[in-house]
Chain A
Amino acid sequence: GDSVTQMEGPVTLSEEAFLTINCTYTATGYPSLFWYVQYPGEGLQLLLKATKADDKGSNKGFEATYRKETTSFHLEKGSVQVSDSAVYFCALILTQGGSEKLVFGKGTKLTVNP
């Protein structure tokens, strides 16, 4: 079935380090891809998305490119901040009969130290 596999955490970085969180997917058809972020004590928030191959989603300095040939959607940021400490979830959407459900990866916890 359709699934998302993302890099296991936790990931610990120093401020201003480069971040990559790997995400690959298995899907029938062409899903839309998402990164959600969960800050401590809060709900899941959409960070960025891409709806077709070669699209690049970007927000708050984060980027991810929809790569159909490698079925990947890796999250990157050039210089992380302490405030980026959170859990990051890669997800895809399946569209079935007008309803949509998100299929998530396990989440990767990122801690950024000053």
Chain B
Amino acid sequence: EPEVTQTPSHQVTQMGQEVILRCVPISNHLYFYWYRQILGQKVEFLVSFYNNEISEKSEIFDDQFSVERPDGSNFTLKIRSTKLEDSAMYFCASSLLGGGSSYNEQFFGPGTRLTVL
């Protein structure tokens, strides 16, 4: 069964360093998403991506964050200069369609745990 994969499963970095979190969405999906969950808090939407551009982003997704689909399979989240408060579990998701379609189920990866020291 197709699944979303994410690497690495755990990333430890020093404050101020750049990190890139990687995701491989399901191959025929067109919409891609990043969410994060700070320990003990809610899963929060960060950004959605369609047709090689950001379609929606939250207020959390500031200039320190960027997303890219560098080739036909990967979808990456970059944090330019990490802060302590960026420590969280980051989930990637993909869906076949969006915008109210009945085929809009979002399929999630297992997450990357980011720890900023």
Interface on A for B, CB 8 Å cutoff?
A: 4, 36, 41-46, 49, 89, 91, 93, 95-107
Chain B residues in 8 Å Cβ range of A91: 43
Can you pick out 29 interface pairs between chain A and chain B where the beta carbons lie within 8 Å of each other? A41-B110, A42-B110, A43-B4, A43-B91, A43-B109, A43-B111, A44-B43, A45-B108, A89-B43, A91-B43, A95-B100, A97-B55, A97-B56, A98-B98, A98-B100, A99-B48, A99-B98, A100-B100, A101-B56, A101-B58, A102-B45, A102-B106, A103-B45, A104-B42, A104-B43, A105-B42, A106-B41, A106-B42, A107-B42
Residue of A4, A36, A93, A99 most packed against chain B (CB within 10 A):
A99
Interface on B for A, CB 8 Å cutoff?
A: 3-4, 6, 31, 33, 35, 40-45, 48, 50, 55-56, 58, 91, 93, 95, 98-100, 104-111
State the main secondary structure of chain A at its contact with B: strand
Chain B residues in 8 Å Cβ range of A43: 3-4, 6, 91, 107-111
Total number of residue pairs linking A and B with CB closer than 8 Å: 70
Say yes or no: A100 contacts B104, CB within 8 Å.
Answer: yes
Chain A residues in 8 Å Cβ range of B31: 99-100
